Amino acid sequence: MRAFVRISLFGWALVGAAALAAAEPPGAARFATYEAMRAELGRLVAAERFGEAERLLTEGIEEHPERLRANTFNIAYVRSRLGDGEGAAAALERALAAGEWYGKFDFLDDGWAALRASPRFAGIARQCEARRAEAEKAVQPRLDVVVPPGTPPGVRLPLFLALHGGGENVDALRPHWTSPLLAAGFVVAYPQSTQLVAPNGFDWLQDLPRTLAELRAVHARLLRDYPVDPARVVVGGFSSGGAAALAAVAADAFPVAGFVSLCPARPDGFDAERLRSAAARGVRGVLLTTARDRRVGEQREMAAEMARAGLLAGFSVSPDAGHWYPPDLAVRLDAALRDILPALPEAAAVDRSEVERAVRDSIGWALAKDRLRLESLIAHDDGLLIFHPDSQSTVRGWQAFVPLVDGFMDPRFRATRSEVRELATTFSRAGDVAWFSALLDDCAEWEGSESCWRDARWTGVLEKREGRWVIVQMHFSLAADAVRREALAGGS
């Protein structure tokens, strides 16, 4: 049985023949190349000849100081397999003394049991976490986008939002997450989480609210800047990324037509009510896993729950594979996409859903102060017009709107609750303009003192610009007789 551990310097580093043969530069004295030395190491580990593997690494670490982190990691592993937890800790401490650190997932495998039993392990873990937290402060978002060459102007393509696994990065995902259909007919976006868990590895599940906020921002940017059809958005990914895709669907974080999740864990908020709600929105998805994934039992249960909710378009298990990308993933991706896309709702239904979401979010954004969401909903031009009930607060143009939003971001302001009722939408014959009416209750505090609009009459106009609905005009008013009654009753 192969032992494998996550070490972010190499993505998944298999401490076994396959991964230990995957390294790079020129070699030790006993071997023609460094790869040859690593291949021999993999052979020894696969045969569980850990004593010989340790001797080989002890020589290699001196001959390849540029590989200190990888070699100390592997020395620690084989010593742990030999039951020498103290020796394993000493190898890692050598790398820590040189400024290196290890990731959150690096020592979870059963082969590290002896190391974890060492009294020194807690100190090693603390040092690594401190360095990880400091390094995370410098992390910047990354987004790679691939548009098929020769896409004609004006043509809008389906979008696949592909999410890397935990401890991985975009560079690790991209060679695996591709297929003929994706290459020929999709805009494929590869965002990278900002949640650092290894020196060059990231995760989506350390802070799920942060993940959903990042994905909403990515979705808005893609609709704004790329030739994307908002009615044909599919989200998916591997492991942590597959779980984040399911979480985004369950939370209705942004409009999607479907999902493809490979080897996911069960995310928070993945419950029957949310699954039924997603199915009612027309979402359909495919769950992929492998026969030797450690969560395959849980994934079968998840697939059954999705099927009962009417959400599941397909479920398949790749044989003879563990928690990794199956060799026929491209074939399985294309089959999943063909299952999902025919189930799309009619364009008119998608537009109505997006308009209603935009209207509700233009008020609801304030509860979490999601400024990026609000800004994605409002026209950024001089034609923007907002009438408020008082005569002093009329907004004309985007530049006049920005200071209003700045005021809402003041920590003394806190939105407390809102409710949109009797929302009605109508569309132009061309389908690129919509207008709405609703009744609105909206309450907020300023320095702890609450005031509310109750039964405010709210109307507005949206335009569909580059595939995205934006608000160009709104009018809020309060019925004069209701205002007088409330004033006489001493209301706010």
460-470 as b/e: b if 16+ CB within 10 A? bbbbbeebbbb
Q: Could you tell me if 150 and 279 lie in one domain?
A: yes
**448-489 confidence digits (pLDDT tens):** 999 999 999 999 999 988 768 999 999 999 988 877 777 677
Rg (CA), the chain: 27
229-262 as b/e: b if 16+ CB within 10 A? bbbbbbbbbbbbbbbbbbbbbbbebbbbbbbbbb
Question: In the prediction, which pLDDT does 350 show?
Answer: 62
Q: Could you tell me if 397 and 339 lie in one domain?
A: no
Please identify which residue in the block is written with the tokens 């008013």.
477
Low-confidence residues of the chain, pLDDT below 50?
Answer: 1-29, 343-345, 492
Q: Could you tell me if 255 and 367 lie in one domain?
A: no
Cα–Cα distance for residue pair 421/419, rounded to 1 Å? 6
Q: How many CB atoms lie within 10 A of CB 480?
A: 8
Strands of 468-477's sheet in order across: 395-396, 385-387, 468-477, 449-465, 433-446, 413-427
* pTM for the structure as a whole: 0.66
Show the CA angle centred on residue 430, arms to residues 429 and 431, nearest 5°: 90
Distance of CA 140 to the CA centre of its chain: 15
Helices 272-280, 296-309: axis angle to 10 degrees equals 50
* Six-digit token string for 442: 């909206």
Q: Could you tell me if 360 and 402 lie in one domain?
A: yes
* Six-digit token string for 380: 């950024």
Domain that holds residue 96: 3-136
Q: Could you tell me if 398 and 435 lie in one domain?
A: yes
Q: How many CA atoms lie within 13 A of 353 on its CB side?
A: 20
Residues in the chain: 492
AA identity, residue 343? A
**65-103 confidence digits (pLDDT tens):** 888 999 999 999 999 999 999 999 999 999 999 999 999
Cα–Cα distance for residue pair 138/379, rounded to 1 Å? 32
DSSP 74: H
Q: Could you tell me if 325 and 366 lie in one domain?
A: no
- The burial of 412, by beta-carbon neighbours within 10 Å (0-12 exposed, 13-18 middle, 19 or more buried), is given as exposed
DSSP H or E segment with residue 143 = strand 142-146
- Of 312, 344, 376, the one marking the end of a domain is 344
Cβ contact 234:340 at 8 Å: yes
Cβ contact 204:358 at 8 Å: no
Q: Could you tell me if 89 and 41 lie in one domain?
A: yes
Q: What is the CATH number of the domain that holds 361?
A: 3.10.450.50
Q: Could you tell me if 404 and 297 lie in one domain?
A: no
Cβ contact 7:70 at 8 Å: yes
DSSP string, 160-219: EEEEPPTTB-HHHHTTTS--HHHHHH-EEEEEE-SEEEETTEEESSSSHHHHHHHHHHHH
AA identity, residue 9? L
Number of independent structural domains in the chain? 3
Q: Coil, strand, or helix at residue 231? A: strand
Q: How many helices (H) and strands (E) does the chain have?
A: 18, 17
- Of 344, 370, 385, the one marking the end of a domain is 344
Question: In the prediction, which pLDDT does 349 show?
Answer: 67
Question: In the prediction, which pLDDT does 9 show?
Answer: 26
Residues 6+ positions from 131 with CB-CB distance below 8 Å: 101
Question: In the prediction, which pLDDT does 44 show?
Answer: 95
Q: Coil, strand, or helix at residue 357? A: helix
Please identify which residue in the block is written with the tokens 């790329």.
226
Q: Could you tell me if 270 and 417 lie in one domain?
A: no
DSSP string, 40-70: HHHHHHHTT-HHHHHHHHHHHHHH-GGGHHH
Cα–Cα distance for residue pair 211/372, rounded to 1 Å? 14
Q: Could you tell me if 163 and 222 lie in one domain?
A: yes
- Of 296, 325, 344, the one marking the end of a domain is 344
DSSP string, 451-467: EEEEEEEEEEEEEEETT
Question: In the prediction, which pLDDT does 491 show?
Answer: 53
Q: Could you tell me if 181 and 53 lie in one domain?
A: no
DSSP H or E segment with residue 433 = strand 433-446
Q: How many CA atoms lie within 13 A of 40 on its CB side?
A: 16
Question: In the prediction, which pLDDT does 60 show?
Answer: 84
Q: What is the CATH number of the domain that holds 58?
A: 1.25.40
Q: What is the CATH number of the domain that holds 230?
A: 3.40.50.1820
Question: In the prediction, which pLDDT does 19 show?
Answer: 35
Q: Could you tell me if 320 and 173 lie in one domain?
A: yes
Q: How many CA atoms lie within 13 A of 427 on its CB side?
A: 16
AA identity, residue 260? V
